[in-house]
Amino acid sequence: MTLEWFDRVSEELQEHLESICEKYDQIGHMAVDRASKHPKIEFFVETDESEGEYFCSLFFDPYNEEFYVKTLDLDVDYMSKTILPDIEDIIDEVHESFHELIEGIDDHSFVMDDLKSDDDNYEEIEVEWTTPEVTAYAHKDEVEVTYQFGVVQETGDGILRRTNRIQTIDEELLEDVTNFVFSKEEANTIIAMIASHVDILSEFDFEE
């Protein structure tokens, strides 16, 4: 078992991707996790919310000394893996996944800071809101968080709008709105993931 091939690819991959794709050079990032049983390289971009949007996870099997990616077959609900035998195949896989993400972001009118020049480039998406604002929690007249569910008209995707309202000591109302867009195929995974981990979350401890 050796990580020599993993280390070589990790060192060269970012440079190769930057050289073949100007857009990746501007916003693409990679993170290396060498400590896992199967080490991995994850690729992501930073969105306008300063959060990482991951688009490809590249795994390495140290016993067989080969890279692979996992693929979920939605028709049979089965996870398979595709072997990437050389660095050219690896680069092609990451590059293709990157452009699929970028095209998806464009389709949903997301805007990344590195790609926009001014606010005029932002286009509002048309949403049919199927629920009113539902209060998730509130504390006195100081804090209120609401959620609203809708459907994106153009794509048929779901959208959750989270509105956070805070009353300052100067009696100024601050409002922060976040939209989360997801496909029908993602919905069950999101619901199951939240349901299986909700018990480990901490509740707000407001001081009276």
pLDDT for res 158? 92
What pLDDT, on the 0 to 100 scale, is given for residue 72? Answer: 64
Distances (CA, A) of 54 to 46, 51, 100, 160, 188: 9, 10, 12, 20, 19
Supply the pLDDT for residue 204: 64
CATH number given to 124-200: 3.10.450
Contacts for 15-22: CB closer than 8 Å, 24+ residues apart: 16/87, 16/91, 17/91, 17/94, 17/95, 17/98, 20/91, 20/95, 21/95, 21/98
Q: Measured between alpha carbons, how far is 68 from 94 in angstroms, rounded to an integer?
A: 11
> Domain extents for the chain?
4-120, 124-200
pLDDT tens, N- to C-terminus, the chain (208 residues): 578 889 889 888 888 888 888 888 888 888 898 877 888 998 888 765 556 678 888 999 888 889 998 876 555 555 678 899 899 999 999 998 888 887 765 544 443 344 334 333 334 578 899 999 899 888 777 788 899 999 998 889 999 999 988 877 766 778 888 888 999 888 888 888 888 888 888 776 555 4
| Residue 186: strand, helix, or coil | helix
The answer to whether the CB of 179 falls within 8 A of the CB of 148 is: no
Location of structure tokens 């959208």 = 159
- Torsion from C-alpha of 56, 160, 112, 153, nearest 10 degrees: 100
How confident is the model at residue 147, as a pLDDT?
92
Classify 64 as helix, strand or coil: coil
Where are the alpha helices (H) located in 108-205, listed in sequence order?
A: 184-197
